[in-house]
Amino acid sequence: MSVQVRIVTPEREVWEGEASMVVARGIEGEVGILGGHAPMLIRLGVGPLRVLRDEGGIEAVVDGGFLHVTSEGDASRIDVLASRAELGSEIDLDAARSAKAEMERRLAEDREDAEAIEGLARADARIDMRS
């Protein structure tokens, strides 16, 4: 059973299509969603989003937001409403490495810099996606 998936940010529609399964990182851990799943709302953390399809998967990095599952009869839909999202193919690995170095420098100066902690998580997620 397939599910319709839509990944959007405030700036753009990142991807839309059909999938057999979606795996996302919520703030309380990873979740896998198949067609026919019960309706739910998950707050997303920083991390990978994998859309599994018969003709090849789609990978993205999501920086927070929400994942909303709806179901009507046999039809399921997953809407990923992300603060930021990039497909794996869009990630600039050099920029991610540079951002990581900058966030590590900032954290060396102030271990409680919340912006640097979040920036480091974003950079690491992008590097992990491309590695």
3-state per-residue secondary structure call for the chain: CCEEEEEECCCCEEEEEEECEEEEEECCEEEEEECCCCCEEEEEEEEEEEEECCCCCEEEEEEEEEEEEEEECCEEEEEEEECCEEEHHHCCHHHHHHHHHHHHHHHHHCCCCHHHHHHHHHHHHHHHHHC
pLDDT at 75: 81
Does one domain contain both 9 and 62?
Answer: yes
Q: Give the amino acid at 26.
A: G
Does one domain contain both 81 and 105?
Answer: no
Does one domain contain both 26 and 80?
Answer: yes
Does one domain contain both 17 and 34?
Answer: yes
What value does the mean pLDDT of the chain take?
Answer: 93
What is the share, in percent, of the chain residues with pLDDT greater than 70?
Answer: 100
Does one domain contain both 118 and 72?
Answer: no
Mean pLDDT value of segment 21-37: 93
Q: Please give the residue range of the domain that contains residue 50.
A: 3-88
Whether the pLDDT of residue 131 is over 90: the answer is no
Structural domains of the chain, count: 2
Whether the pLDDT of residue 20 is over 80: the answer is yes
- Exposed/middle/buried for residue 120 (C-beta within 10 Å: 0-12, 13-18, 19+): buried
Does one domain contain both 114 and 61?
Answer: no
